[in-house]
Amino acid sequence: MDIVSLTIDQVQDGLRARRFSAVELATAALEFARDENPKTNAYLSFSEERALDAARHVDEKLARGEDAGPIAGVPVAVKDVIVTKGVRTTCGSKLLANYIPPFDATAVERLEAAGGIIIGKTNCDEFAMGSSNENSAFGPVRNPHALDRVPGGSSGGSAAAVAQGTAVVALGSDTGGSIRQPASFCGVVGVTPTYGRVSRYGLTAFASSLDHIGPFGRSVRDAALLLNVIAGRDPLDSTSAEAPVPDYLTHLDGKVKGLKLGLPREYLRDLTSESGNLIGKAIETLKKLGCDVRDITLPTTDYAIACYYVIATAEASSNLARYDGVRYTFRSSSSENLNDMYRNTRGEGFGAECKRRIMLGTYVLSAGYYDAYYLKAQKVRGLIARDFSNAFAKVDAIVAPVSPFPAFKIGEKIGDPMAMYLSDIYTITGDLAGIPCMSVPCGKTTGGLPVGMQILAKHFDEARMFRLADAFERTGGAQN
């Protein structure tokens, strides 16, 4: 058993043929993840007891000849902004360093019900705010492909864990690119489903009109299978959609001939040459597969960063108000009265990026500025969404880069918040429109850094997005 390259299907075959038990696999995965962790700092906690309980449950079912679920025995890593009952959930923040959630997120419940084994919680930017994973209170994650570089953010730990092979698949969250950008930097598949496709019950809120939970995998098939398991309406999240969930695996049939793909010209201007070359090669490959690639325009793209950072910080300033020293573990020890206690707790507890965003969000919502910033940004958001619906009237899917550049050095951009924000330019638009989008590996730079290609599709059209990504993956597109 080679844990590093294991797929979900191989786990199912191995369990069925009794080459290993779920308990043996969970034990081996936990040991491997613990041994590897000093290299990348991808995990913040390991959930050994819970993992072994779940694995025993799978083994018992299999012994009785019952169906143990589509991801039975599969080691899964979960981003530490998604709550796990009884397992510490820090959100990468000093404020929640000792927080033990009293309930499970719906996505967590569903993946365990499908037989998945949660082995640990992964490092991330504090409250998922960042593009490099350097904003974690528990130290940065290092990119498994180059340990002096960032894994991307904010779901850097989940991407690194899957790339490193310490988990077969992982859950992340995406508000402005936090799944796709780390997936591209770490050379794995990362999926941001349609807004409402996956319940956010138990996802610690950052910007509620933009937050998504989504899967990471080493293959399109594994990511699609994990989405199968977690997708669908949840009465506990009123923003989750009633729309039926197709079996995504049945769409991985290679039938992409004649598919109309749009190439937004606004997304091809600021690419470093190596990333640009790899995207160019990937597009040639898609043409060889018979896809009809045409230029399109998404004219509001230039305003997307401003639009996103107004809306996301406004919502964040409201969502983070709950961390006030009353309910969630951390309280400043030096306060005379209630108001001081709030102020000191938040001043001592939040890291620099969270404070910056709370400040920005409070400012844009404050009296006299609401219309100029927040309302204006919401109108621009509507225009960005309209750009996409206009495009999808002409094409079946959109193909674009994920990031203007591959993984950068730890420390390279952390001193310049505006430069860090600008690096999200190709990913935030999908979140603003609420459409499904994903990153699929399309090769490596000469320095060995992975680059991802982004695919975007219509609302609830994940199946077509997976079909294209899978067809591309089968050509060996990641080996360019």
Partner 1 sequence: MKITEEQVRYVADLANLKLTDDEVRKFQADLNEILVHFDRLNEIETSQFDPMAQVLYEAEETATLRPDRERPGLGNELALANAPLASSGYFKVPEVIKR
The amino acid at 9: D
Q: Which of 52, 70, 363, 404 binds partner 1 (CB under 8 A)?
A: 363
| Alpha helix (H) residue ranges in 299-416 | 304-319, 338-349, 352-365, 370, 376-392
User: How many residues line the site for partner 1 (CB under 8 A)?
Assistant: 75
Q: Considering the rule CB under 8 A, would residue 206 count as an interface residue with partner 1?
A: no
Q: Alpha-carbon distance 114 to 120, whole Å? A: 17
Is the Cβ of residue 17 or residue 367 nearer to partner 1 in the bound state?
Answer: 367
> Among residues 79, 94, 413, 458, which one is catalytic?
79
Query: Least separation, in Å, of the C-beta of 365 and partner 1?
Result: 9
Q: How far is the CB of 248 from partner 1 (least distance, A)?
A: 18
Identify which of 154, 426, 93 has the alpha carbon closest to the alpha carbon of residue 268: 426
- Residue 472 contacts partner 1 per CB under 8 A: no
Show contacts with partner 1 in window 389-428 (CB under 8 A). 417-418, 421
Q: Which is nearer to partner 1, 87 or 310 (CB)?
A: 310
Q: Does residue 375 belong to the site contacting partner 1 (CB under 8 A)? A: yes
Cβ at position 59, least distance to partner 1 in Å: 30
Query: 40: Cβ–Cβ under 8 A, 6 or more apart, which residues?
Result: 141, 142, 143, 144, 147, 151, 160, 161, 164
Stretch of residues binding partner 1 (CB under 8 A), selected from 127-135, 175-183, 192-200, 437-445:
192-200
Kindly write down the DSSP assignment for every residue of 63-92, as one continuous string. Answer: HTT----TTTT-EEEEETTB-BTTB---TT
Q: Which residue has the tokens 């949840």?
A: 234
Given 43, 46, 99, 472, the residue binding partner 1 (CB under 8 A): 99
Question: Which listed residue (79, 218, 221, 381) binds partner 1 by CB under 8 A?
Answer: 381
* 380 lies in the site for partner 1, by CB under 8 A: yes
401 phi and psi angles, rounded to 5 deg? -75, 165
Specify the amino acid at residue 221. R
Among 47, 131, 136, 154, which one carries the catalytic annotation?
Answer: 154
Active site residue 318: no
CA 416/CA 409 separation, integer angstroms: 14
Residues 241-280 that bind partner 1 (CB under 8 A): 241-243
Among 248, 426, 460, 472, binds partner 1 (CB under 8 A): 460
Residue 467 CB, shortest distance to partner 1, in Å, is 21
Long-range contacts of 229-233 (CB under 8 A, 24+ apart): 229/70, 229/71, 229/110, 229/111, 229/114, 229/116, 230/106, 230/107, 230/110, 230/111, 230/171, 230/198, 230/199, 231/193, 231/197, 231/198, 232/197, 232/198, 232/199, 233/199
Asked if 47 is an active-site residue, the reply is no
Q: Is 154 a catalytic site residue? A: yes
- Looking at 18, 64, 288, 327, which residue binds partner 1 (CB under 8 A)? 327
The residue from 136, 173, 178, 423 that is catalytic is 178
Instruction: Give the catalytic positions in this structure.
Output: 79, 154, 178
